[in-house]
Structure 1
Amino acid sequence: MRPGLRATLSLEYPMSLGLYDSYEEAQGAVDYLSDHDFPVEDVLIVGTDLKQLERVTGRLTRGRVIGAGALSGAWLGLFVGTIFALFDPSGFNILNVVGTVVFGAVFGMIWAAVGYRLTRGQRDFTSVSQVVAAKYEVLCEHKHVQRGRELLVRMDPMRAAQEEVRRAREAEQARAAQVSQQHDPQGPPAQQPLPPPSA
């Protein structure tokens, strides 16, 4: 990731405003903050527990591959042929456009057939995929967190109460882990090997 993009997609001292089950809910919370003059340029929506969904849409056959290649090539040929015909000094010639479409379709069929042959049938299906997150957390800079939480309380008091309980539980777990680490900084003692049996 480029340094400029990394700086844009990060905050100095982020703190949580809320955890949401869907992106639409997180977006609605940020939109509410924006409507109430909250500095949303210091807000970040983070998707957690990412997973990829792939929906199989059909069987991929040689005929479908060649047909799709022909259609794609024909569209490209129509575009290129129209451009050349518009700038032809002798005037617009529809036969040149048709010829370019036919050539594009034939080239698309050959290209698609060669590509399909190279896959050797390892992926004989079509699909659409999407990366989704299990949860979406809205973060903001620490200097604005108090005001942001107050606004979200007004937006949805019940959710805000649940968020307070969640944050308190996480803080308690963090404190318990810290105390456990202080009492046992080295972790559990390593198991010593047993001495060899005496002869």
Structure 2
Amino acid sequence: MNNKRTSRSQAPVIPQGEVIGEFKTYAEASDLVNLLIEKQFPGGQIAIVGKDLRTVERVRGKLSNARVALGGATTGSWLGLIWGLIFGTNPEAVTTQDAFAPVISAVFIGAGVGMLINILRFAFSKNKRSFISQSTVVASKYQVQVPRNLADQAATILASKTLE
């Protein structure tokens, strides 16, 4: 039996190594990683470490019964369309209108059911908020790290970039 652990099954750890760049945005750190990889630096040895993490919740809009109903109708319509296409088409129908009538009915029934379920769920929810938001985790700075034994190779690549 093989007890070797792969990198996928190992518990996450904070990478140790030399910081070769520190940036205010993730995009800037990512640009440095792209440069290193383009210059044949081993990509599996690079880490972008976010420091001073914060959760940011951005309010996207007001949540009302109408918005909840519209969201439910949209989801229900898609489910009804899929249901209708799978179970409702009639290949033996004389006209195209007759063939797709069950599909159209399924879309409208799905919209109604989806709307009803969403409105009931919203009405009975205990954590009732009147807004929609999206949470993200952001860092105040991003560090690009490489193992100590590869720091000189990374520094050489960075020096050649500044000379260009």
Q: Distance in 2 between matches of 1:34 and 1:9?
A: 23
Question: 1:32 aligns to what?
Answer: 35
1:141 aligns with 2:144: no
> What's the TM-score once normalised by structure 2's chain length?
0.80
* Equivalent pair of 1:18/1:138 in contact (CA under 8 Å): yes
| Superposed displacement of residue 149, structure 1 | 1.8
Residue deviations 1:95-140 (CA, integer Å, cap 9, x gap) = 1101111111111011101110122572111123322111111111
The equivalent position to 2:120 in structure 1, one of 114, 118, 138, is 114
Matched letter for residue 147 of structure 1: Q
Aligned length, in residue pairs: 154
The equivalent position to 2:111 in structure 1, one of 66, 80, 105, is 105
* Equivalent pair of 2:73/2:110 in contact (CA under 8 Å): yes
State percent identity of aligned pairs: 31
Q: Which stretches of structure 1, 4 residues or longer, exceed 6 Å deviation after superposition?
A: none
The equivalent position to 2:129 in structure 1, one of 113, 123, 126, is 123
Q: Distance in 1 between matches of 2:73 and 2:15?
A: 52
Q: Residues 121 and 34 (structure 1 numbering): CA distance in 2 closer, same or farther, change over 3 Å?
A: closer
Question: Superposed, which structure 2 residues align to 1:1-199 within 5 Å?
Answer: 4-5=7-8, 7=10, 13-85=16-88, 88=90, 90=92, 93-120=99-126, 122-156=128-162
Greater C-alpha Rg = 1
Q: Residues 156 and 80 (structure 1 numbering): CA distance in 2 closer, same or farther, change over 3 Å?
A: farther
Give the number of the structure whose residues are more often helix, by fraction.
1
Which SS does the other structure have where 1:126 is aligned? strand
Q: Distance in 1 between matches of 2:67 and 2:138?
A: 29
Which SS does the other structure have where 1:123 is aligned? coil
Contiguous gaps of at least 5 residues in structure 2: 1-5
| Superposed displacement of residue 85, structure 1 | 4.0
Q: Residues 41 and 11 (structure 1 numbering): CA distance in 2 closer, same or farther, change over 3 Å?
A: farther
Matched letter for residue 118 of structure 2: A
Give the CA RMSD over aligned residues.
Answer: 2.6
Matched letter for residue 113 of structure 1: I
Question: 2:3 aligns to what?
Answer: none
Q: Distance in 2 between matches of 1:13 and 1:59?
A: 44
